[in-house]
């Protein structure tokens, strides 16, 4: 290297910082996005668009214009928009103006004045592991069910089960 002799010999080289996948910020679905199928993330999801299927992540925020038609499972769920389906989370926050139609399984919950909830609220010790009211054999998994053709012409030939995404509630190091 040409400039090697001009380097300060007492100065230690700076350590390179490696960005962790989980520390990059939330994945954001904007208002124009419509997803017909299941959605999984090891990090945080912010949904402003529409999801027709189940959502699983470490943390889920359903924003004011966001709509989910399916189950939402996460450690933390914040609802400002609409969820039509069950919620399973350790901590659930349903804010003013939110609309929830479905049962809620949780460890802790907060519901602000002005929120609409139509469903049963169940406090359980492990909401992410519970199959409330049904046995495993009676309740088919939405992730293993064969998919029908969507209104947008998409079909899914294989079951939705990516092996690289840990289920919610796992604290695995992502590097």
User: How do residues 111-158 score in pLDDT, each as one tens digit?
Assistant: 999 999 999 999 998 888 855 544 343 344 444 444 444 444 444 443
pTM to 2 decimal places: 0.64
Question: pLDDT-based confidence at 26, cuts 50/70/90?
Answer: confident
Q: What is the pLDDT of residues 29-44, one digit of tens each?
A: 999 999 999 999 999 9
Q: How far apart are CA 14 and CA 137, in angstroms?
A: 56
How far, in Å, CA of 158 to CA of 68, rounded?
22
Determine how β-strand 55-56 pairs with β-strand 72-79. parallel
What residue has token string 């949780």? Answer: 106
For residues 67-85, average pLDDT: 96
Check residue 3 and report its DSSP letter: G
pLDDT digits (tens, 9 = 90+) for 147-173: 444 444 444 443 444 444 555 555 545
């Amino acid at each position: 290297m040409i400039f090697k002799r001009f380097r300060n010999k007492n100065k230690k080289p700076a350590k390179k910082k490696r960005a962790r996948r989980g520390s990059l910020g939330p994945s954001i679905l904007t208002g124009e996005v419509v997803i017909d199928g299941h959605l999984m993330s090891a990090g945080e999801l912010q949904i402003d668009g529409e999801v027709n299927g189940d959502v699983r992540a470490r943390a889920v925020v359903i924003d004011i214009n966001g709509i989910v038609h399916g189950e939402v499972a996460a450690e933390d769920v914040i609802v400002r928009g609409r969820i039509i389906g069950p919620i399973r989370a350790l901590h659930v926050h349903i804010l003013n103006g939110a609309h929830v139609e479905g049962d809620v399984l949780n460890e802790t919950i907060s519901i602000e004045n002005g929120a609409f909830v139509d469903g049963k609220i169940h406090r359980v010790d492990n909401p992410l592991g519970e199959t409330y009211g049904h046995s495993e054999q009676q309740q088919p998994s939405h992730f293993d069910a064969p998919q029908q053709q969507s209104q947008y012409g998409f079909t899914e030939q294989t079951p939705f089960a990516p092996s690289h995404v840990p289920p919610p509630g796992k604290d695995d190091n992502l590097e």
